Amino acid sequence: MTRPELIRSFTDAALSPDPELASAALMIARVEYAEVDAARYLAELDFIGVEARRRLSLAAPSADTPPGVDAGIHAKVLALNELLFDEIGFAGNETDYEDPRNSFLNEVLDRRTGIPITLSLVYIEVARRAGLAVEGINYPGHFLVRCRDPRTLPHTEDLIIDPFHRGTLLSRERLARQPGGTRLPRATKPQILTRMLVNLKRVYVRMQSIPQARDVADLLIAVDPSAIHELRDRGLMAYQMNDFAAALRDLQAYLQLIPSGEQDDETRQDRERIWEHVKTLRSKVASLN
């Protein structure tokens, strides 16, 4: 798959109304693993999902169900946690959080470890295959998932789950003590994939792996063309790679897209810095023609 083909395929998958996340996530893996066998990893998720469906069908409510929580849903979540974390062995990679492999679904499935966003994606995908509705939560700093209480009664509680910490269930009281508080915005499919890409780009930039970081920026812009700071960053990375024409194109577009009107000091300084780059790039590109 060529780079333009990958971008087109990823865009189609990321923006599709189909809730399935794994196919798009495996396309992200092609940034590092061009020949990744997506069918193999989708089949593995299907296999785990079949077993999870069987376990959930047998899950019986327990006496320690928290107040206000649906006992049946609680039992199913505990059964899924037992399968994924106790038996299969998924766990957060706390010893090497910055390892780029934590952001690739194929590596997470092979190594049984990852970061909050990728472990949450595994959790969502297995739960979906098992018939349990679980959604992502765009919690600041640490991605979480939620299994909603199917009842509409007052004082019912959703189950908030932390896949990075082996499926720990988080109470509202515990969340209230966290920086993100109890505001729990649902993450859309594009937002989940974008968060994966942002994490991966940050890791590559820290590693000075600029070609890979630029490829990730391509996917970020494909999902959200309005992400003008990603356009700026891609232009700066192209500049580092001496791809002057591409750098000029992106940085000029960035300057045109910055909102007009009142700008804070940081935005003005950034605009001035990028304008200086553009002037230099125009000279470089002209000298090559």
Decide if 269 contacts 257 (C-beta within 8 A): no
Decide if 191 contacts 217 (C-beta within 8 A): no
Structure confidence at residue 41 (pLDDT) = 98
Architecture of the domain defined by 3-176: Roll (3.10)
Beta strands in 10-112 (DSSP E): 91-92
Q: Give the three-state DSSP class for 170.
A: strand
Where along the chain do the CATH 3.10.620 domains lie?
3-176
Long-range contacts of 76-79 (CB under 8 A, 24+ apart): 76/132, 76/147, 77/132, 77/147, 77/159, 77/161, 77/167, 77/169, 79/52, 79/55
Where along the chain do the CATH 1.25.40.10 domains lie?
190-288
22-80: per-residue pLDDT in tens? 999 999 999 999 999 999 999 999 999 999 999 999 999 988 898 888 999 999 999 99
159-206: per-residue pLDDT in tens? 999 999 999 999 888 888 888 888 899 999 999 999 999 999 999 999
Decide if domain 190-288 falls under CATH 3.40.50.2000: no
Q: Cα–Cα–Cα angle for 112, 121, 49, nearest 5°?
A: 75
Q: List phi, psi (to 5°) of 180.
A: -80, -10
pTM over 0.85: yes
Q: How far apart are CA 16 and CA 228, in angstroms?
A: 22
Nearest to 250 by CA among 270, 220, 228: 228
**Residue 114 corresponds to which tokens in the numbers above?**
């990852």
